[in-house]
Amino acid sequence: ISGYSCYRTVEETYSSAQGLVSQYPNLASWSSIGSTWLKTKGRGGYDMNVLKLTNKSTGGTKPRLLITASIHAREYTPAELSTRFAEYLLANYGRDADVTWMLDSQEVWLVLQSNPDGRKKAEAGASWRKNVNDTQKCSNGLFGADLNRNFTYAWGTGGSSTDPCNETYRGVSAGSEPETQNLQNLIKAAFADNRGASRTDAAPANTSGVYMDIHSYSQLVLWPWGDTTTAAPNGAALQSLGRKLAYFNGYTPEQSVGLYPTSGTTDDFAYGELGVASYTIELGTAFFEPCNTFTSTTLPKNQAALLYALRVARAPYQLG
């Protein structure tokens, strides 16, 4: 559509990522994290992939920033922002001292398209949010599970639907969807050394890593919990970094329940299971906005926020 040509399709996103790996073999890798729902059924579908960025010749376990983008199919802006962020980091390695230091000492893992089956339906013209699991038929046509209600931590504790035809359908069981399982395994791999934060017990102050799940839209920076107004045990530190991120992008920072109650979400899983500093960013003012406002506003403001998240990923509860 004219004015929106900046949003790469699933295939274009994947080929851009593969192009980066060929261009920067010492800095980038691209690997499958598993199959989408359609692929598990042999009905087409996709591999889900992670793009990992770091200087491969400097070793040791490095702190990580994990970004998942566009888990909701019609939210195009997050995938494009994340792809541009990867391109920015690679293009500036060896040129910009800050970027060079960050890729020498830290890692960025990006899932640029977190719901490629759904995204394909959106690209075909549907206003699609969920995955495309059509096991349960829907007269309204809105089958599928909301992947951001299907994660296993405190699944089904409010703010999700038991109706398979509802846009916030939580799935038949906790972690039932292959996309959820692939993303949960990746989150666990990224932050394997961490221990979880329980409802009452904070993650240690020296916990490393930052997780960002990027959506559109509403101009928000959100952090756990989503299913209770009680502050998370690391709430003060989560709020401090959340407010700092909001300085960069100009958005409103708040605990996610303040938007509306949710459960089974990405960020509550990452924080609850692994104690990692976890945020949901809601970009901009539309699922996808005209390319001129994306390029002039949403991209630079949020690139700055992502760079800050990467800068503090070695100790977000202390540096953030």
Where along the sequence are the contacts to Zn ion (CB under 5 A)?
A: 72, 75, 215
CB of residue 43 vs ligand 0X9: minimum separation in angstroms?
A: 26
x/- site string to ligand 0X9, residues 194 to 233, per CB under 6 A? Answer: ---------------------x------x---x-------
Characterize 209-243 residue by residue with b for buried, 16 or more Cβ atoms within 10 angstroms of its Cβ, and e for exposed: bbbbbbbbbebbbbbbbbbbeeebbbbebbbbbbe
Q: SS3 for 29?
A: strand
**Is the CB of 72 or the CB of 120 nearer to ligand 0X9?**
72
Q: Which does residue 262 touch among Zn ion, ligand 0X9, none (CB within 5 to 8 A, set by kind)?
A: ligand 0X9
Using rule CB under 6 A, residue 70 touches ligand 0X9: no
Measured from the Cβ of residue 179, the count of other Cβ atoms closer than 10 Å reads: 29
**Is the CB of 112 or the CB of 222 nearer to ligand 0X9?**
222
From the list 270, 268, 263, the residue with the least C-alpha distance to 195 is 270
Q: Is there a cis peptide before residue 251, judged by omega within 30 degrees of 0?
A: no
Return the structure tokens found at 248. Answer: 């960069």
x/- site string to ligand 0X9, residues 253 to 292, per CB under 6 A? Answer: ---x--x--x--x-xx-----------x-x----------
Integer Cα distance of 296 and 248 in angstroms: 14
CB of residue 146 vs ligand 0X9: minimum separation in angstroms?
A: 7
Q: Which does residue 265 touch among Zn ion, ligand 0X9, none (CB within 5 to 8 A, set by kind)?
A: ligand 0X9
Asked if 100 and 89 touch (Cβ cutoff 8 Å), the reply is no
CB of residue 111 vs ligand 0X9: minimum separation in angstroms?
A: 16
**Is the CB of 14 or the CB of 128 nearer to Zn ion?**
128
Q: Which does residue 256 touch among Zn ion, ligand 0X9, none (CB within 5 to 8 A, set by kind)?
A: ligand 0X9
Exactly one of 8, 52, 72, 244 binds ligand 0X9 (CB under 6 A); that residue is 72
CB of residue 225 vs ligand 0X9: minimum separation in angstroms?
A: 8
CB of residue 27 vs ligand 0X9: minimum separation in angstroms?
A: 30
* Rounded-to-10 torsion of CA 257, 211, 277, 37: 50
Asked if 281 and 241 touch (Cβ cutoff 8 Å), the reply is no
Integer Cα distance of 245 and 221 in angstroms: 7
The kind and range of the H/E element at 88 are helix 77-92
Asked if 287 and 74 touch (Cβ cutoff 8 Å), the reply is yes
List of residues contacting ligand 0X9 (CB under 6 A): 72, 75, 148, 215, 222, 226, 256, 259, 262, 265, 267-268, 280, 282
